[in-house]
């Protein structure tokens, strides 16, 4: 039996983030580089009074040893990873990559948002290996 996403504690915030992304896509359409959407989404998140950090450095661990850094496009309110794409269509590899980041960072909730298609594409992701610390 799957998790009822509407009951997840992060659902109201992920809905707000998706709403901001919809506004960006509605205004700009598709066809821009990812960085343009990233900057526009930052403006929308500020207007919505959602706290975030952009290009947030996150350490990657292997067997409890830090082995490198990866930048997440947005870390929202310190608990939701948001990865942006500006490609024709999301593929399984993009979902797998976003899930790997959630697990590597031990973040429970993530969003993968694609501005490159005719309609905004987004996937809400839940890290089933999340450990509360």
The arrangement of strands across the sheet holding 52-62 comes to 52-62, 65-76, 80-85, 109-114, 121-126
Can you spell out the DSSP letters for 113-132?
Answer: EE-SSSS-EEEEEE-TT---
Question: What's the CATH number for 10-126?
Answer: 3.90.320.10
Q: Decide: 59 and 68 in contact? Cβ < 8 Å.
A: yes
Q: Which of 113, 129, 131 is nearest to 34 (CA)?
A: 113
7 confidence band (pLDDT: 50, 70, 90): low
- Report the pLDDT value the prediction gives residue 9, as an integer from 0 to 100: 63
Q: State pTM to two decimals.
A: 0.86
- Percentages of the chain per state (helix, strand, coil), in multiples of 5: 35, 30, 30
- Tens of pLDDT, residue by residue over 40-84, are 999 999 999 999 999 888 888 788 888 988 888 999 998 999 999
Kindly give, in sequence order, each residue whose CB lies less than 8 Å from that of residue 69, ignoring residues fewer than 6 positions away.
57, 58, 59, 60
């Amino acid at each position: 039996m799957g998790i009822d996403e509407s009951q997840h504690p992060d659902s109201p915030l992920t809905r707000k983030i998706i709403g901001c992304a919809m506004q960006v896509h509605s205004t700009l359409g598709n066809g821009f580089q990812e960085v343009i959407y990233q900057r526009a989404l930052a403006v929308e998140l500020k207007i919505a009074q959602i706290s975030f950090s952009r290009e947030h450095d996150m350490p990657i661990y292997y067997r409890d040893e830090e082995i490198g850094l990866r930048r997440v496009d947005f870390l929202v309110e310190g608990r939701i990873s948001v990865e942006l794409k500006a490609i024709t269509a999301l593929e399984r590899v993009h979902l797998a990559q976003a899930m790997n980041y959630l697990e590597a960072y031990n973040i429970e909730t993530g969003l993968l948002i694609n501005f490159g298609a005719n309609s905004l594409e987004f996937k809400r992701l839940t890290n089933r290996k999340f450990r509360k610390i």
